């Protein structure tokens, strides 16, 4: 079981973790942004100061086979063995590729995730999904490979710009929807403009706990873990299209738009309450402005959905809700209904 630590003293907690894990060599993976903004918080840690440091380019478009190969190359050329340990310091892109690099190097070495973005903390760093983008498709190659420990400290979140904050917050909205009215109300009532970081820390802890409970029951996504896919079937399609048209959007923005579409489908097929759907839609409209696309792009979006890893046979697989906290996995919708949901998104959010 992956251990998640909500840190109160970053360096003390990190030293404690490193003292409990047996390893021969220590390596640290960062990207250009986290090297500048986040590494200073741990650079004086005695063990980290001696670690081999790997710095990759930032941005999801660098979550690819070439970057993965460069990580393997550094590890290989600097004496990493099956008993080495990799610390992944960064956002979701970095913990995804770092986790996969660790899982695949010499058939698997241990790693620790220190997420530095809200998105990384509540989503990518927890739960063991790792991977890279391939052939224009999100997370097409990867493995289930949980980090030994995930160390979460909100000190990093204060350096986030508002767009990156909101990108992570969309996953918290998703966790609220799949968990309970209490969690959902807390997330969509939070002031995202004047951020109370102490209050945010507790919201993050609660949000991570939602994912932890689900992953513990279903670590390999054979059943209820599919609840975590709410908003992602259509959301990943928006994300892929944004890169195709040269106007890349943040992952959480695409997921927020996917949530609108999939709540519409949840209302249509499972009776999700209209009032709760519109409360969520209004929150997303206020916080997640769209990007331009038109009806000519619908077929491309549908093609991306057809490539989704969750699909079986020739159908597009969804997670729907019959109410907040009441999940309906392995549901399907036809092309016409999916296109209707995209129409609803464009009309309600203004895209």
**pLDDT band at 1; cut points 50, 70, 90:** low
Q: Give CA–CA dist 1/147, Å, rounded.
A: 9
Residue 313, pLDDT score: 61
Q: Mind listing the pLDDT tens digit for each residue in 292-333?
A: 888 889 999 999 999 876 766 678 999 999 999 999 999 999
Is the model's pLDDT at 20 over the cut of 90? yes
Element (H, E) at 297: none
What pLDDT, in 10s, does the model give residues 33-84? 999 999 999 999 999 999 999 999 999 899 999 999 999 999 999 999 999 9
Residues 277, 40: Cα–Cα separation, whole Å: 43
d(CA 164, CA 170) in angstroms, rounded, equals 10
Token readout for 305 is 């959905």
pLDDT at 137 over 90: no
Please give the span between the terminal C-alpha atoms of the chain, in angstroms, as a whole number: 42
For 190-225, write each residue's pLDDT tens digit: 999 999 988 888 899 899 989 989 988 998 888 999
> What are residue 210's phi and psi, to 5 degrees?
-60, -50
pLDDT at 97 over 80: yes
pLDDT of residue 220: 85
**Cβ 119 vs Cβ 171: under 8 Å:** yes
Q: What is the pLDDT of residue 309?
A: 63
Judge whether residue 117 has pLDDT over 80: yes
pLDDT of residue 171: 96
- pTM of the predicted structure, to 2 decimals: 0.84
Of 3-12, 168-177, 319-328, give the lowest mean pLDDT range. 3-12
**Cα Dmax for the chain:** 59
């Amino acid at each position: 079981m992956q251990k998640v630590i909500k840190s109160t003293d970053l360096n003390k907690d990190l030293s404690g973790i490193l003292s409990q894990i047996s390893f021969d060599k220590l390596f640290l993976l960062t990207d250009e942004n986290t090297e500048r903004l986040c590494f200073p918080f741990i650079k004086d840690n005695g063990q980290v100061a001696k670690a081999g440091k790997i710095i990759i380019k930032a941005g999801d478009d660098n979550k690819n086979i070439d970057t993965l190969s460069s990580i393997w190359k550094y590890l290989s050329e600097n004496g990493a063995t099956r008993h080495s340990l990799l610390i992944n310091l960064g956002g979701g892109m970095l913990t995804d590729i770092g986790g996969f690099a660790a899982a695949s190097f010499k058939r698997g070495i241990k790693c620790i995730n220190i997420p530095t973005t809200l998105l990384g903390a509540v989503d990518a760093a927890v739960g063991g999904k790792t991977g890279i983008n391939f052939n224009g498709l999100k997370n097409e190659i990867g493995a289930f490979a949980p980090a030994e420990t995930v160390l979460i400290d909100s000190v990093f979140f204060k350096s986030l710009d508002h767009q990156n904050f909101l990108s992570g917050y969309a996953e918290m909205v998703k966790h609220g929807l799949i968990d309970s009215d209490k969690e959902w109300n807390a997330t969509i009532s939070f002031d995202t403009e004047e951020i109370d970081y102490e209050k945010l820390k507790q919201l993050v802890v609660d949000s991570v706990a939602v994912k932890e409970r689900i992953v513990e029951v279903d670590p390999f996504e054979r059943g209820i873990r599919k609840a975590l896919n709410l908003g992602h079937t259509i959301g990943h399609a928006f994300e892929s299209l944004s890169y195709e048209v040269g106007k890349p959007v943040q992952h959480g923005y695409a997921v927020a738009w996917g949530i609108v579409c999939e709540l519409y489908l949840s209302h249509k097929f499972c009776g999700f309450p209209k009032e709760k759907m519109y409360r969520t839609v209004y929150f997303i409209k206020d916080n997640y402005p769209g990007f331009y696309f038109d009806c000519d792009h619908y077929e491309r979006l549908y093609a991306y959905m057809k490539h989704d890893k969750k699909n079986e046979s020739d159908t597009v697989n969804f997670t729907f809700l019959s109410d907040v906290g009441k999940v309906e996995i392995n549901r399907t919708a036809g092309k016409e209904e999916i296109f209707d949901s995209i129409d609803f998104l464009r009309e309600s959010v203004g895209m």
